[in-house]
């Protein structure tokens, strides 16, 4: 079973291993959300969407729908 960013809990980290490039916004790629990069869950909004993540030192808000298209290896 693959683990995605959407499966991580607050404080958990992972290394991005695969991305469904056709299903995520180009902006995320431009901000460094690429395979091999460390990602950490900072906060999850009260209704579980969006998620706030740290990637390459930047804090980003992404929707759960988008997070399900980014596979990670848990650290």
pTM: 0.89
Positive or negative: CA dihedral 34, 25, 8, 55: positive
* Among the listed residues 63, 32, 31, the one whose alpha carbon sits nearest the alpha carbon of residue 50: 63
Range of the domain at 49: 3-74
Instruction: Give the model's pLDDT for residue 31.
Output: 87
Contact 11, 40 (CB under 8 A): yes
Residues 15-42 have pLDDT tens digits of 999 999 899 889 888 888 999 999 999 9
Helix or strand run (H / E) with residue 17: strand 13-19
Residues 8, 54 contacting (CB under 8 angstroms): no
- How high does pLDDT run on average in the chain? 93
Q: Name the domain count of the chain.
A: 1
Residue 1 in this model has a pLDDT that exceeds 80:
no
Domain CATH number, residue 10: 2.30.30.90
């Amino acid at each position: 079973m693959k683990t995605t960013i959407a499966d991580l809990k607050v404080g958990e980290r992972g290394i991005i291993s695969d991305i469904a490039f056709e299903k995520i916004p180009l902006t995320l790629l431009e901000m460094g959300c690429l395979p091999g990069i460390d990602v950490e869950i900072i906060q999850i909004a009260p209704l579980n969407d969006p998620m706030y993540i740290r990637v390459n030192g930047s804090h980003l808000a992404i929707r759960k729908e988008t997070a399900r298209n980014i596979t990670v290896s848990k650290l």
